[in-house]
Amino acid sequence: MEEKLLQQNLVANRWQTLTLSEQLGNIGSEIGRALGAQKQNKEEKKIFALNRAFELFNLTIGDSRWLSRLKELTRGREVVADYFFGDNVYNSTAENLEKYFYWFALAARKNR
């Protein structure tokens, strides 16, 4: 248990050094994994990837550098949760979720 907390602290500290594009690109990677697992009916893998995505969302939302983006970040988390666990009131699709996060990953790569 103590090792897991240490690992979480290391991730959180490293996370604070990433740009917003890098953070959202990484979140998008986890969402992409969840979508892939969903297509293959691999529920355990889907849940693992989503847990990781929400953990990363929470780290990003908690990053004080992005206070002016808080509404977008929390809405993004809400849309993802609604798609996978809710009634999909935002009418999201796998394609538009992937497309939204793709642009952040692309921007992060260009800025390296």
pLDDT in tens, the chain (112 residues): 445 554 566 577 889 999 999 999 999 999 999 999 999 999 999 999 999 999 999 999 999 999 999 999 999 999 999 999 999 999 999 999 999 999 998 988 887 7
pLDDT at 26: 94
Output the CA–CA distances (angstroms, integers) from residue 93 to 19, 59, 101, 106, in the order listed: 26, 25, 13, 20
β strands within the chain, DSSP E: none
Output the CA–CA distances (angstroms, integers) from residue 34 to 30, 31, 49, in the order listed: 6, 5, 5
- Could you give the number of structural domains in the chain? 1
Q: Are 83 and 97 in contact (CB under 8 A)?
A: yes
pLDDT at 112: 72
**Rounded distance between C-alpha atoms, residue 8 and residue 74, angstroms:** 21
**Rounded distance between C-alpha atoms, residue 109 and residue 106, angstroms:** 5
Domain coverage including residue 31: 2-110
- Tell me how many degrees the CA angle 98-112-109 measures, rounded to the nearest 5: 20
The H-or-E segment that residue 26 falls in is helix 20-39
